[in-house]
Each structure stands twice: as structure tokens, then as C-alpha cells.
Structure 1
Amino acid sequence: MSAPEKKLVRSKSGLRMIPVNNVDVSPFTISEPPWVPDNECVVCMNSSCRAKFDFRRRRHHCRRCGRCFCNSCCDSKVPLNRMCFVDPVRQCNVCVEVSRKENEFFDKHLKTLCNGGDFVLKESGDEIEGSSSTFRCKLSTDNRTVTFESNHDKHEPIQMERLESVQILTGGVDAEVFPRLDDDGNMVASGIAMKYQNHSSDKNMVKLVINPTSTNKREGQMWIAAMQKAFKLIHETRMLDKP
């Protein structure tokens, strides 16, 4: 799947690179917030500051939350990937820390998801056998779909927006109740279970399990960790979109 066509648009917050068609919008993006009107903001909205605005102390709007702050409480400019800004934008002290954490996902984990990982696929209620096919699971370039590539079998793509839950598996292929531990005694991910709605709106669950004979288990574990972070962002977006 090719990357969606994009266009450059300007808002009062800055330049944004967004898809031409709304159907290509990434599920990880969030909308620009409305700005608090200047006439409704006479003091800095940081509760621990509350400095009064005047001709020397100017108002500054956080591009992420839209609230109004003094320069001391809103002087950092960092990338805001979730709103598709081309350049770093001004954000308040609270939002800037949130964006920095999210930027690790966009700079690192999103690439991991798009590169893919190899997993043995198990449908809900099925048993994994030695002859089970290995699928290359990847996130599409528009970030909207998880695809499954195999030389032998097929599986329908999963729309990210239709994901209902993800659960990290820590057991083996044959007995998921027995956790795997690393040298420090920490549980090691052996797979991931994803509950979703298919195109018929039926609820399905698929389990992607790292093949114990694989020579590159680390790749699969990194993909699992990245998918968990991806679902967290999508869940947060849903909460923001709720009226």
C-alpha cells in the first residue's frame, strides 16, 4: 500500500502536512484545539502561576491544549506529531512533556510497526500446530491497517480503528499459562492478543505468537511493545473525541 497523498495547510498554530483525503487520516492524530479567547484570559492559566497579563507580559497559546499562558509557562517549542505540524510548536510546560513522550513512539516505535515482525497466527479457539504458517505482520504506511503476509495462507487485514483491546501474552506456544522469564526474572512477551471488529462488525480475536524456533525473537518482542503503545494512543484519541 502506497503512502497517502498529502497537502500543506496553514493554521494559526503553524504549518501542517495532512492527507488530502480524510479517509487516509492516521488513527494516531488528534485535532487542533480551539484557542481560549484573549478576552476570557486575564491571567496565566497555570494554576501555580496566575500571573496577570499586561502590555509587558504577553499571552501565549499552547498549540496542544489551546489554553493561555505567560511566556515562562509556555516557552518551549517541540514537535507535535499527533497534529501533523511540520515544525516544532509552542506548548505549555505540561503538554510539552506529554508530546516528548509521544515523539518516542513516532520516532522509534512507529518504524518498528511498519517494518513488521514474524508471528505464528492463532485464531480464537484454535491450537497452534507445528505446521502453522508464519505471517509477516506489518502496519500499513498510512498507519490504518495491520496486514498479514504469508506464502501459504491469508488473513484479513485488521483496521486499527476497529481494535477494541490488546493483551500481551507471556506464555509459550503450547502453554500460555507458563510465563517465560529473562535472566533477571522478568516476564518476556511471547505474543499479543488483539480483539477487533471485522468488516461485518463481528467481534474477533487473533493471537500473534513468536515462534520459539525463530532466530529473531527480539524483532517480534519489539513489535509487540510498539503495538501496545500504538493502541494506547488510539484509545486516548477515542477518549478525546467523546462529546
Structure 2
Amino acid sequence: MSAPEKKLVRSKSGLRMIPVNNMDISPFTVSEPPWVPDSECLVCMNSSCRVKFDFRRRRHHCRRCGRCFCNSCCESKVPLIRMCFIDPVRQCNVCVEISRKENEFFDKHLKTLCNGGDFVLKESGEEIEDSCSTFRCKLTTDNRTVTFDSNHDKHEPVQMAKLESVQILTSGVDSEGNMVASGIAMKYHNHNSDKNMVKLVISPTSTTKREGQMWIAAMQKAFKLIHEARMTEKP
């Protein structure tokens, strides 16, 4: 699937590169927040600062949360990929740390999801047999859909926006006592709005177990971002 066509738009927070068609918007994207009006912001909104604004101390709005701060509390400029800014933008000291952690997902884990992993698929209650087909599970370039490719069988794509939950499946512990991921169960709504669940399991004989485990970890992080975006957008 080709990447969606995009356009350059300007907001008061900066330049953004967004899809031309709203149907192509990534599920990881969140909307720009409204800015707190200057008239409602007489002091820095950092509770541990609260310095008064005057002709020497200017207000600076955080592009992520929309609140206003003094320069010391809002001086860093970092990429804000979730709002599609093309250049690093000013963020408060709290938001900048959140954005840096999210940027690790976009720089590393998103690539893992798009590269894909090999899994045996089963619906709830099914047992895995030696004859089960292996699917290449990967996220499309527009980040909206998980596809399942196999030479023998088919499975409907899963829309990321329709994911209801993900659960890591484990099988024992490693030498350091950490649980070992063996698969992931994804609950979602299909095209008929019915609830389904599919389990992606790493085959015990797979030669790409590590790749599968990395894909599982990346999908867990992806769902967390989508869930947080849903909570942010709720009225």
C-alpha cells in the first residue's frame, strides 16, 4: 500500500504535514490543543514556578498541551510527531519528556511493525497444528491496518482504530526471570462491527522468534498510544 498523499498546512503552532484525505489520518495522531488565552494566563502555569508575566517575562505556549509558561519552563524544542509538525516545536518541561519517549516509538518500534513478523494465527479456542499456515503480519505504511499474508490461507485485515485490546501471551521465563512473550491476542471490531479475537503465536519451530517478540512488544506500545489518543479526544 502506497503512502497517503499529504499537504502542508500552517497553524499558529507551526507547519504541519497532514494527509489530504481525513480517512488517511494515522491512528497515532492527536489534535492540536487550543491555546490558553493570554488574558487568562497572568502567571506561569508551572505550579512550582508561578512567575508573573510582564514586559520582560513573556508568555510561551506549549504546542502539546496549549498552556502558557515562562521561558525557563518552556524552552525546549523537540519533534512532535503525533501532531504532524515538520520541525521541532516549543514544549513545556513536562510535555517534552512525553514527546521524547513517543519519538522512540516512531523512530524504532513503528519500523518494526511495518517490517512485520511471522506468526501462526488462530481464532479463540483453536489449537495450533503442524499444518497451520504461517502469516507475515505487518502494519501498512499509513499505520492504519495490520495485514496478514500467507501463501495458503487468508485472514481479514485488522484496523488499528478498531482494536479494543491487546494481551501478551507468555510461555515461561528466561534466565533472568522475565516472562517470555510467545504471542499476542488482539480483540477488535470487524467490518460488520462484530467483536472478534485473533491470536498471533510464534511457532516453536520458528527461526525468527526474536523478530516476532520485537513485533509483539512494538504492537503493545502502539496500542497504548492509540488508547491514550482516544482518551485525549474524548469530550
Amino acid at match of 1:31: S
Partner Cα separation in structure 2 for residue 17 and residue 182 of structure 1: 43
Task: Report what 2:98 is aligned to.
Answer: 98
1:207 aligns with 2:199: yes
1:221 aligns with 2:221: no
Partner Cα separation in structure 2 for residue 47 and residue 29 of structure 1: 28
Q: Per-residue displacement from partner, 1:38-79 (whole Å, max 9, x unpaired)?
A: 111110000110000000000000000000000000000000
Aligned residues: 235
Q: Which of 198, 211, 214 pairs up with 2:190?
A: 198
- Alignment TM-score, normalising by the size of structure 2: 0.99
**After TM superposition, what 4+ stretches of structure 1 lie above 2 angstroms from structure 2?**
none
Amino acid at match of 2:231: M
Q: Per-residue displacement from partner, 1:182-219 (whole Å, max 9, x unpaired)?
A: 12121110000000010111110000000111111100
Task: Report what 2:69 is aligned to.
Answer: 69
- Alignment TM-score, normalising by the size of structure 1: 0.96
Partner Cα separation in structure 2 for residue 39 and residue 200 of structure 1: 49
Task: Report what 1:186 is aligned to.
Answer: 178
Task: Report what 1:160 is aligned to.
Answer: 160
Partner Cα separation in structure 2 for residue 8 and residue 203 of structure 1: 37
CA displacement at 1:235 relative to structure 2:
0.3
CA displacement at 1:122 relative to structure 2:
0.8
Amino acid at match of 2:73: C
Amino acid at match of 2:14: G
User: After the TM superposition, which residues 1-243 of structure 1 pair with which residues of structure 2 at under 5 Å, given as runs?
Assistant: 1-171=1-171, 180-243=172-235
**Structure 1: stretches of 5+ with no match in the other structure:** 172-179
SS of structure 2 residue aligned to 1:170: strand
Amino acid at match of 1:21: N
Amino acid at match of 2:152: H
CA displacement at 1:35 relative to structure 2:
0.5
Paired-residue identity, %: 87
